[in-house]
């Protein structure tokens, strides 16, 4: 059964946040980057207008642009937050540097309720997800692979034509390359890749054209 994928582009980093829902109105929220009241209202209105009931909040990783809306989502929907344990420190650090990026009003994200693990299988309504640990951009970065539906929510590992930065704490180009080649480039080439920034792409296109091959 086809799932509905809604992408929102939020905050000054132009981060892509996602709501995935099934035909029964069960939904999950991935990487809510909403910061302003207008952005929060955009997310809430979409859920309400489409009669979607969110049952889980998932973070691919915990850099500031991907977690700005965690507190808003938790406060308004009282749903569990999923995060890999290796990004606990990444999440904790956000409150220390948020103002340096101009986010003086950052509401500290709650701690994770559920721990994401490599090759964990998650089921939310009709959504079946395989979790793959893909460090290199952040220590606890994961991707969410919807195998039956032919797409992956990959956060900041792989972009259309490029890849995630490695100059932040916990970043490492060799580890990132390993994540890309072992976990993303082994997926079927027709798999659609929904990125944390910029347009979507496919595994096949990135295997051919991505400049990760030059490193």
pLDDT digits (tens, 9 = 90+) for 89-136: 999 999 999 999 999 999 999 999 999 999 999 999 999 999 999 999
Which of 29, 39, 36 has the alpha carbon at shortest distance from 6?
Answer: 29
- Give the model confidence (pLDDT) of 123-147 as tens digits: 999 999 999 999 999 999 999 999 9
Own/partner pairs, 103-109, CB within 8 angstroms, 24+ separation? 103/11, 103/35, 103/64, 103/68, 105/35, 106/35, 106/64, 106/68, 107/71, 107/72, 108/71, 109/62, 109/67, 109/70, 109/71, 109/74, 109/81
Q: What pLDDT sits at residue 213?
A: 86
pLDDT greater at residue 2 or residue 67: 67
- For residues 106 and 98, the answer to whether their CB atoms sit within 8 Å is yes
Give me the residue spans of the domains in the chain. Answer: 4-214
- Give the model confidence (pLDDT) of 12-46 as tens digits: 999 999 999 999 999 999 999 999 999 999 999 99
Which residue spans within 31-108 are E strands per DSSP? Answer: 53-58, 81-84
- For residues 138 and 92, the answer to whether their CB atoms sit within 8 Å is no
Residue 214 has pLDDT above 90, yes or no: no
pLDDT greater at residue 214 or residue 13: 13
Domain 4-214: give its CATH architecture.
4-Layer Sandwich (3.60)
- For residues 170 and 131, the answer to whether their CB atoms sit within 8 Å is no
Half-sphere exposure of 194 (CA within 13 A, CB side): 24
Q: What pLDDT sits at residue 23?
A: 96
- Give the model confidence (pLDDT) of 148-203 as tens digits: 999 999 999 999 999 999 999 899 999 999 999 999 999 999 999 999 999 999 99
Residue 1 has pLDDT above 80, yes or no: no
């Amino acid at each position: 059964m086809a799932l509905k994928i809604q992408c929102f582009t939020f905050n000054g980093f132009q981060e892509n946040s996602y709501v995935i829902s099934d035909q029964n109105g069960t939904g999950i929220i991935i990487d809510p980057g909403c910061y302003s009241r207008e952005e929060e209202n955009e997310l809430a209105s979409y859920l309400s207008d489409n009669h979607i009931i969110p049952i889980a909040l998932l973070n691919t990783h915990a850099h500031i642009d991907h977690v700005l809306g965690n507190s808003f989502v938790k406060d308004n929907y009282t749903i569990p937050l999923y995060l890999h344990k290796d990004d606990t420190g990444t999440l904790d650090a956000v409150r220390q540097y948020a103002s340096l990026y101009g986010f003086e009003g950052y509401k500290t994200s709650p701690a994770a309720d559920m721990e994401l693990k490599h090759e964990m299988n998650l089921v939310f309504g009709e959504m079946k997800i395989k979790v793959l640990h893909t460090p290199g951009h952040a220590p606890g970065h994961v991707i969410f692979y919807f195998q039956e539906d032919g797409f992956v929510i990959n956060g900041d590992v792989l972009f259309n034509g490029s890849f995630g930065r490695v100059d932040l704490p916990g970043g490492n180009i060799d580890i990132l390359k390993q994540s890309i080649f072992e976990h993303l480039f082994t997926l079927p080439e027709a798999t659609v890749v929904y990125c944390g920034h910029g347009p979507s792409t496919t595994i096949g296109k990135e295997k051919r054209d991505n400049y990760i091959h030059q490193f």
